Amino acid sequence: MEKTDAREEKILVLVRLRPPNQKEIAANEPTEDWECLNDTTILYRRNTLRQSSNFPSAYSFDRVYGGECPTRHVYENGTKDIALSVVKGINCSIFAYGQTSSGKTYTMSAITEFAVADIFDYIFQHEERAFSVKFSAIEIYNEAIRDLLSSDGTSLRLRDDPEKGTVVEKATEETLRDWNHLKDLLSVCEAQRKIGETSLNERSSRSHQIIKLTVESSAREFLDKENSTTLMASVNFIDLAGSERASPAMSAGARLKEGCHINRSLLTLGTVIRKLSKGRQGHINFRDSKLTRILQPCLGGNSRTAIICTLSPARSHVELTRNTLLFACCAKEVTTKARINVVMSDKALLKQLQRELARLETELRTPATPASKCDCAMTVRKKNLHIQKMEKEMAELREERDLAQSRLEDIMRMVELDEASKCGTPQHIDKWEDGSVSQTSGVIDLERNFISDGMSITRASSHSEDDDDEELPTRSEDPSEEYCREVQCIEIEESATVNHKDEKRAEPKNILGPSEDASVGQNVRLRSWNRRETAPGTSTPPENLGTGRPEEESHKNKKIVFSGLELGSSVSRNDSLSSCGSDSTETQSSRTPLGEEGGITSIRTFVDGLKEMAKRQGQVSITDDDSGKMGRDIGLVIMDMEFERQRREIVELWQTCNVSLAHRTYFYLLFKGDDEADSIYIGVELRRLLFMKARFSQGNQTLEGGETLTLASSRKALHGERMMLSKLVGKRFSGEERRRIYHKFGIAVKSKRRRLQLVNELWSNPKDMSQVVESADVVAKLVRFAEQGRAMKEMFGLAFTPPSFLTAQRSRSWRKSIPTLF
C-alpha cells in the first residue's frame, strides 16, 4: 500500500435528541428538559445553581439535531461528506453511541441506506473507473464476534495484520451487485442480529453491529497496464448496543449477561476516548475489548470518523444523557489521520523501486565538494554515516525488488499454467497440486483469485498469508485466542508425526534456527497457521522441524509457551515433545504430565498424560478418533484446566482475604467458564485478590468499592456477614431442608447454636471443592441469588469490585441499595 499524505482532522460529533416515545407520553414523563438552542448547542434547562457547578447547562458540538429533525437531514447535513470519502480511497466510519432506546438503530439503519445509495450514485456517474464494492457484517455479542452473513454461529477471531491492523478472520464478504442485493443482505443482518426485549425497548440491540463496505476502484484506461493503481478503502457503519442501568432495563438471565458485556465494552470505549482526547500520551487500552480493538483505526488512525450521539429526552434518563454528552465532549477532541489508500500493482511497484535504487546508486557515486577545509573532517564523518544509511536502504530496496521480481515471475508462471490447463494440459496443474512447488502455492492461489475477480493484481494481494502470520507472535491479550494458537502447535506436531514419510518428497526446510529460543515458538505457531489456512485438496507437504541431519538434533530442542501455562516442553526434530524442566510458576494442578524422567518423551506420551490428568480431574475425556480431533480435545482440556486452576486459586484467596460470602457465591455461580469472556473476569478477579493479599500481608489497607479495608476490618465484616446469614437460615429453609444441610456439613441436628455453626462452615474449606459447591448453593438460597443476581452481574461487569452491600459493611449505601436482600 503506498503511503500518501495523511490529513489530520477531529472526529465529527453530532448530537441527536429523539422525540418522546409513546411509553413516555403515556406515563406523563417530563420530556422538555433538553432544548436544542441552535444548530450546535443543546441546553439543559433544569440545572439548579448547585448542580451547575458539577454539570454544564449548555453543550456545543459540530451539529445538534432536535426531535423533529428527520434522519435524511442528519445524513445530508452531518455524515454524507464523510461517508462518501470511501469512493476516493479514504477509510471512514460513522457510528451511533447512546443509551438504550435513544434511537441508535433508528438512525444508523437509515444512514447506512442513504450512504450506500449515494455510493452507488457516485459509481454510476464515474464510468471512467472500474469499481468493486464488498459487503461484510459482524456483531460483537457477549465479547464474541459473529458473522452476520453466516448462520453457523461460530465465533470469529481477531488477527493483527501489519498493514491492515486488527482484522476479523474469515468474515464473509459479498460483492454487492445492486440495490436489491444490499437490501437482502441488510435484512439477513437484521434477522441474525441479537435483539431482545427490555423494559425500555421492545427491540433492544444486544450486540454491537459493524457493517463494512470495502470499495476498490481503478481507472479503466490503466486496467492491466504496468502503471495501474487501485484506490481501496472501507466505510464502517457501527450501531453500538446501548448503555443501560441495571435496574430498569435488565431482567434476569441472558439479558443480564448481555447488559454486563455491553456496559463493560462501552466503558472501555469511553476510557479509550477519554485518553485519546487528552492527547496520545501513555498507554491507550485498545486491547481491553474486542470493540475497541476493531474500532482502533476509527478512533485515531487512518480514518475519517463521525459519531452520532443519540439522546432520550426523558427526565428519568437524565444521568445517562449527561454521560452520553460527556462522551461526546471527549470524542470531539480526538483527532484521526486519514489518507488516500493507493494500492500499486506489482509492476508499478517494481518500477518505482528500480527508480529509487538507481537514484541512490547515483547519489553514492557522485562525490560532494566540502564547503571549506575546516568543515572537511565533519563532512567526511557525516558523509560516511550517510553512505552507511544509504547502503542499508539500498540493501532493503534490493530485497524488496527481488521479492517483487519473484512474485512477478510466479504470476507469469501461473498465467502460463492457467492457459496451459485451459488448453488441456492438466499435468502442470497436478504438478502444483502435488506440492512440488508448495512454497509459493499460497501466493499463487491468492493472486489467481484476484485475477479471476477481474481486478488488477495489487501489492496487497501479493501479501501472502505467511506474511500476515509473521505478526502472530505479538501476544494477544485475549487468553482464549492464545490457547487456540497454542493448540494448533500441537496439531501441527501431530500431523508432522503422521506425515513423516512425506518428508522425503520435499526438500527439508530449516525453520527452527539453532539458538533463538523465542523465535522458535513463533515459527512453530507460524507453521500451524499456515497449515490451517491451506485449502482442502491442496496437499502442502509437511514442513520439517529441522534440517533432518542427526548431528543437528540436539540444537533443535525448543520450548513452547502455553499462555498462562508454561509447559516447559520442547519440540525436537524427531517429532516429539521433550521436557526442559518444569516452570517454577506452575501450580500443582496446571503441571503437565511428564515422562519417566520428568520429560515428555513423545506427543503420544504427552497426549496420554493429558488424558490421564483430565480423567483424574474428571473434566474432559479425550477420544482417540483422529489426530486432528485429539489436538482440539487437548486444547479444551488445557483451557478447562487453566480456568479451573485459576478458579481454585481465587477460592483460596477469597478465604485468605476474608472476602464476603455473598461476593464469593455470586462470582462462583456467575462465572463458570461456560462463556468465552468468563476467563477475562476470572483473570481480573485473580489479580484483584493477589493485590489485596499483598497489601494485607504488608499490613497495608486497600480500597474496595469505596471502602477502606484492612485484614482486621475485612475479618470483622466477614464475621458480621456470617451473623446476618445465620439469622436467615430459619427464614429461607424449611425444617427438613435445614436437617439435610446440617447433615451435609457434619453438624449435629440437635447441637446448640447450629445455625451459627453452619454459617461458620460455609466457604471455610477452599481445598474441598464439594464443600465449596455446597456452600455456594446454601448462600445462594440465603441471599436469594436467583432474584438478585442481575444487579450483581452488572456490578461485576462494570467495576469488578463487589458492591459495598456485598462486603456486608453497614454503610448507608448498603441499606439504601438493596433493602430486600436480607
Ligand X SMILES: Nc1ncnc2c1ncn2[C@@H]1O[C@H](COP(=O)(O)OP(=O)(O)OP(=O)(O)O)[C@@H](O)[C@H]1O
Binding residues for ATP: 98-105
Helix axes 785-799, 254-277, angle to 10 degrees: 20
Residue span binding ligand X (CB under 6 A) among the ranges 4-12, 102-110, 419-427, 483-491: 102-110
Cα torsion 423, 427, 429, 434 to 10°: value is 170
How far apart are CB 197 and ligand X at their closest, in Å? Answer: 10
DSSP string over 309-329: EEE---GGGHHHHHHHHHHHH
For residues 198 and 572, which CB has a smaller minimum distance to ligand X in the complex? 198
Considering only CA atoms, which of 65, 82, 67 is closest in space to residue 11? 82
For residues 21 and 522, which CB has a smaller minimum distance to ligand X in the complex? 21
Q: How far apart are CA 201 and CA 204, in angstroms?
A: 5
Residue span binding ligand X (CB under 6 A) among the ranges 2-10, 104-112, 224-232, 634-642: 104-112
* Residues contacting 247, CB < 8 A, separation 6+: 791
547 part of the interface to ligand X, by CB under 6 A: no
Number of residues that bind ligand X (CB under 6 A): 18
Work out which of 98, 541, 564, 797 binds ligand X, going by CB under 6 A.
Answer: 98
For residues 241 and 689, which CB has a smaller minimum distance to ligand X in the complex? 241
Residue span binding ligand X (CB under 6 A) among the ranges 14-22, 290-298, 531-539, 640-648: 14-22
Work out which of 59, 64, 89, 104 binds ligand X, going by CB under 6 A.
Answer: 104
For residues 20 and 165, which CB has a smaller minimum distance to ligand X in the complex? 20
304 part of the interface to ligand X, by CB under 6 A: no
101 part of the interface to ligand X, by CB under 6 A: yes
Q: What is the three-class DSSP state of 215?
A: strand
For residues 244 and 447, which CB has a smaller minimum distance to ligand X in the complex? 244
Q: How far apart are CA 479 and CA 684, in angstroms?
A: 12
For residues 266 and 340, which CB has a smaller minimum distance to ligand X in the complex? 266
For residues 64 and 349, which CB has a smaller minimum distance to ligand X in the complex? 64
Signed CA dihedral, 653, 655, 658, 663: sign only: positive
Binding residues: 98-105
How far apart are CB 333 and ligand X at their closest, in Å? Answer: 24
Work out which of 2, 10, 19, 676 binds ligand X, going by CB under 6 A.
Answer: 19
100 part of the interface to ligand X, by CB under 6 A: yes
Q: How far apart are CA 246 and CA 793, in angstroms?
A: 9
Measured at the CA of 800, the angle between CA 794 and CA 802, to 5 degrees, comes to 80
18 part of the interface to ligand X, by CB under 6 A: yes
Residue 275 grid coordinates: 485518553
**Helix or strand (DSSP H, E) at 738:** helix 735-744
Q: Quickly count: other Cβ atoms within 10 Å of residue 608's Cβ.
A: 14
Residue span binding ligand X (CB under 6 A) among the ranges 18-26, 758-766, 775-783, 812-820: 18-26
Residue span binding ligand X (CB under 6 A) among the ranges 97-105, 299-307, 420-428, 786-794: 97-105
Q: Could you say which residues in the range 185-224 bind ligand X, by CB under 6 A?
A: 201, 203-205
Residue 172 grid coordinates: 464473509
Q: Residue 729 burial (CB < 10 Å; 0-12/13-18/19+)?
A: buried
Q: How far apart are CA 640 and CA 647, in angstroms?
A: 10
63 part of the interface to ligand X, by CB under 6 A: no
Q: How many CA atoms lie within 13 A of 633 on its CB side?
A: 21
112 part of the interface to ligand X, by CB under 6 A: no
Q: How far apart are CA 83 and CA 119, in angstroms?
A: 8
| Contact pattern for ligand X over residues 21 through 60, marking x by CB under 6 A | x---------------------------------------
CB 540 within 8 A of CB 436: no
For residues 102 and 488, which CB has a smaller minimum distance to ligand X in the complex? 102
CB 586 within 8 A of CB 544: no
Q: Could you say which residues in the range 572-611 bind ligand X, by CB under 6 A?
A: none
Place of cell 513423516: 500
Rg (CA), the chain: 31
Work out which of 103, 259, 300, 479 binds ligand X, going by CB under 6 A.
Answer: 103
Q: Could you say which residues in the range 237-276 bind ligand X, by CB under 6 A?
A: 241-242
290 part of the interface to ligand X, by CB under 6 A: no
Residue 270 grid coordinates: 469511553
Residues that bind ligand X (CB under 6 A): 18-19, 21, 98, 100-106, 201, 203-205, 241-242, 310
